[in-house]
Amino acid sequence: MPTIIDYLLLTVITIFPVLSLGMMLFFSFVIAPTVFKFLPNTQSGPYIRKLFPIYYIINAALSLGSLIAIISLGVFNAIFYANTIVLVLFVFCYFYLMPTINKQKIKNNRKFKILHGSSVAINLIQIILLISITVILLDF
């Protein structure tokens, strides 16, 4: 018989990925375009670069919280692996990709465009994984 702790863990597993997905979609389709539309380039870039560390940390924390809950329940299924990939990608972006992009932004060269494209592709992969988690949980 499930305990109240089990129900709390299931709630975390359900809510955290959905929160992360919502944040990612809001940031990608509302915050970033609005900033670039209404602020001059000299202000929009630095402003967005200040937001990205917060974005990555919060989303990584949500993924980690979900993983801890999954591990606590001992459930190692597609949701576990998808969450793990999402977390690893957030950590990779925070510690490697974001600093590298910021260094290349100063040069505004071809490497910057490739790195930026990589971050967009990673973001899209994470969104797809989080949607998949949501769909699996709705069927659960």
Q: Which two tokens stand for residue 56?
A: 């990555």
Contacts of 36 (CB under 8 A, 6+ apart): 44, 48
- Model confidence at 113: pLDDT above 70: yes
The residues spanned by each domain of the chain are: 4-139
Q: What does the pLDDT average to over 15-40? A: 96
User: What pLDDT was estimated at residue 41?
Assistant: 86
CB 139 within 8 A of CB 23: no
Q: Residue 132 has what pLDDT?
A: 96
Lowest mean pLDDT among 25-34, 37-46, 104-113, 123-132: 104-113
Dist. CA 127–CA 90, nearest whole Å: 12
User: At a CB cut-off of 8 Å and minimum separation 6, what does 48 contact?
Assistant: 32, 35, 36
- Cα gap 128→9, rounded to integer Å: 23
CA-based nearest residue to 89, from 69, 116, 63, 51 = 63
The pLDDT tens digits for 54-104 are 999 999 999 999 999 999 999 899 999 999 999 999 999 999 999 999 888
Mean pLDDT of the region 4-24? 95
Banded model confidence at residue 140, pLDDT cuts 50, 70, 90: low
Q: What is the CA radius of gyration of the chain?
A: 17
